[in-house]
Amino acid sequence: MYLKQANLAENQRRESVRGSGFMTSLIFSIWLFSSVFNLGYAAEAPPKIGESGALLRVGIYDNPPLNFFDSANEPKGIFIDVLKCIADHEDLQIEYVSDDWPVLLEKLKTGEIDVLPDIAYTVVRDSIYTLSEMPLLTSWIEIYSHIGSSIQTLDDLNHRRLAVMKNSIEHQHLNGYLLHQEDLAIEILEFPDVSSMYGALNSGRVDAFLADRFFRYSKIFEESKISGAGTFLPFNLHFAFPKGQHGEQLGFRFDKQISTLRNTPGSVYFKSLDRWLRNYFEPYIPAYLKNLIIILVLLLIVVLITLAVARYQVNMKTKSLRLSNQALLISKEKAEEGDRLKTAFLQNISHEIRTPMNGILGFIQLLQESDLEGETRDEFIRIITQSGERLMKTVNDIIEISRIETGSQEVKYSVVNTQEVLTYYESFFQPQASKKGIELSLDDRHVRGQQAVIQTDRIKLDGILLNFINNAVKYTDKGEIALGNYIEGDRLVFYVRDTGIGIAREHFEAIFDRFRQAEDQLIRNYEGAGLGLSIAKAYVEALNGEIWVESEKRKGSTFYFAIPYRPVKKEQPREIVKHWDGNGIQILLAEDDEANFLYYKFLLMKEGYQIVRASDGEQAVRIMKENPGIALILMDIKMPVLDGFEATRQIRQFNSTIPIIAQTAYGFVRDKKKAIEAGCNDYLSKPVDHHVLLRLLEEHLVKKGSKQIQ
């Protein structure tokens, strides 16, 4: 087309030289048009072989692994890899033409394709086609038949059927061979490619087929089903091109590239061999072995999973056992600790009861037996009194702690002047402290005046302060003790500071526990049951407060407690703490027990009261009727003839104003309630603390108007 158009343009140009001026311009236009037209055609014409981007038509048929179409219909194989590499280097475009082998051979002859890969050299073929000088591979023919078949040579195929690929090297060789073997009767069936021959063998249509040795490397080949035998006729495999200048030119260019590829280690050629021939060297594993291996692997996985699960379970079990062991150990330690504490407590209590008892009994005996001088006698009596007080404190503490344990604590708020309380305790403990050579004083830091008047439970406040100060005196041998209190936010903080033996930090918490003491019982130098602080702590907690200690061993301690600050704004009748003279006021003491009566009598008479005794309830009612001068009744609840409740009820029928204070058994809340219901104004729990008794008497006498505030 290009040439034709060029000739036309040339003719038109010649015409224009001969023609007129008008014609000249017309012809020039036509020439210009045709030039442009020609140019357009020249741009679209495909490049010829030898030109850049030329199209290379490549014949391809199914002969794995040398050249074939894979499952995605992509051309693959050793010849294709090399072909692509050469096309890249030579700047050629590939177009694949797929067909049966005999057809492709024909197409190459007629020049319909430019290249046919994978062609074995024969003299005949060399005369029909241009073969590349350089072969790509060397192969030979093999007879493929079922595994275990007796076919080893072509002679074994007598009276049998043999498949060959039409026009293949195997086909040609077979024909040549059979020409000289007249006795050999082999039935030959022709096929277009190896896959169909393989199919024929499998279906039993043929007994064997001929193919080159590379068939072993194809995916079709199954070593478990067929084997190759009778190898013969080695031959080289080449690229083939059509005869003529064009084919020779291509052959020359291919040879150059094949030579380079074959002489360069690691080139596309070697990589391709490695890729397509490697599977052959993979060890053949029979199907039963494969299944066995799969079963073993599965078994192994199951065993491993079972092991892992078992291990996990064992770990969990061990963990939970360890935890329960720890818990057991902790509870064992707790039990042992509890046991130890119980033993220590019993030892301590027994010591705390026996020691004063010994003192009391021993000195009473001495008092009875000897003819003693006045001073020694007084000393003995002092010791007996002290021992009695100590005994009483221990019993009181035990009762109090068991009351706390049963949860029968109640809080009774009244108006209390803390300044007066602290001043009272300062003067009360001073003699005891100075006897030990210690100075005891109220700090300047204490709440004064109206600010010191608060609402709180007086008995509990007394209990806590008494314990703190008693301990301070007990555990201090030299130096000083100071009391004080201050307001901190909405709390009122009390403290007792001493320069005594101090407490190690590790005991700061334990000393507030029941029966706990900072020192070991056996080496203790101090008396005490170890209950005081735990009672104080229970009191503080009942008042919604907090208790703590700051201390340093051998330097001293400061015990604190803080309670909610509830100031009383208005001037209220104040708590009387100072001891005062009974001034001959008559008190009816309804008490059947002789010892108790003597105790109260002694105590009250010492304070200046006059005592009238009633030994039962009936007597009490009668005495009251006969003695209107009696200002107050101390009424025991448990009495013969008429109990305290009934006696009170009867007295209330004719005297509604006289203060009656019941003495109930310790901790019996029910009795207290009953006493108030019967008409009592207040109650006291036995054993009675003499400070509390005197304060209560005073309070009710002042209320009634029998006494004036002092």
Long-range CB pairs of 671-678 (<8 Å, 24+ gap) are 671/637, 674/645, 675/637, 675/644, 675/645, 675/648, 678/644, 678/645, 678/646, 678/648, 678/649, 678/652
CB of 557 to ligand ADP, least distance (A): 4
- In the complex, the smallest distance separating the C-beta of residue 511 from ligand ADP, rounded to whole angstroms, is 4
Element housing 163 (H / E): strand 161-165
Residue 320, token pair as written in the block: 């939970």
> How far is Cα 702 from Cα 436, in angstroms, rounded to an integer?
37
List C-alpha distances in Å: 250 to 75, 120, 241, 253, 606.
21, 18, 7, 5, 146
CB closer to ligand ADP out of 132 and 471: 471
Q: Which is nearer to ligand ADP, 529 or 639 (CB)?
A: 529
Rounded to an integer, what distance in angstroms lies between the CA atom of residue 491 and that of residue 563?
A: 6
For strands 480-488 and 660-664, give the pairing: unpaired
Q: What's the min distance (Å) between Cβ of 446 and ligand ADP?
A: 19
Tokens matching residue 47: 């490049």
State the nearest-atom distance from the C-beta of 382 to ligand ADP, in Å: 22
Shortest distance (Å) from residue 475 CB to ligand ADP: 3
Query: Least separation, in Å, of the C-beta of 442 and ligand ADP?
Result: 17
How are beta strands 130-131 and 226-241 bridged, if at all?
antiparallel
User: Smallest distance, Å, CB 480 to ligand ADP?
Assistant: 12
CA distance 251 to 83: 12
Between residues 247 and 530, which has the closer beta carbon with respect to ligand ADP? 530
- Closer residue to ligand ADP (CB): 258 or 511: 511
For residue 698, the cross-strand partners are none
Q: Is 109 or 507 the residue whose CB approaches ligand ADP more closely?
A: 507
Which residue's Cβ has the minimum distance to ligand ADP? 528
In whole angstroms, the minimum distance from the beta carbon of 391 to ligand ADP comes to: 14
Beta strands in 553-655, from DSSP E residues, in sequence order: 556-564, 586-590, 610-614, 632-636
Nearer to ligand ADP, 131 or 503 (CB): 503
- Nearer Cβ to ligand ADP, position 97 or 503? 503
Beta carbon of residue 462, minimum distance to ligand ADP (angstroms, whole number): 15
Distance from the Cα of residue 128 to its chain's centroid: 83
CB of 456 or CB of 557, closer to ligand ADP: 557
Which SS3 state, helix, strand or coil, does residue 341 take?
helix
Query: 632, 680 in Cβ contact below 8 A?
Result: no
Looking only at the bridges linking them, the beta strands covering 632-636 and 586-590 are parallel
* Chain positions contacting ligand ADP, by CB under 6 A: 467, 471-472, 475, 498, 500-503, 511, 517-519, 528-534, 557
Q: What secondary structure, in 3-state letters, does 66-103 show?
A: CEEECCCCCEECHHHHHHHHHHHHHCEEEEEEECCHHH
**Of 401 and 676, which CB lies nearer to ligand ADP in the complex structure?**
401
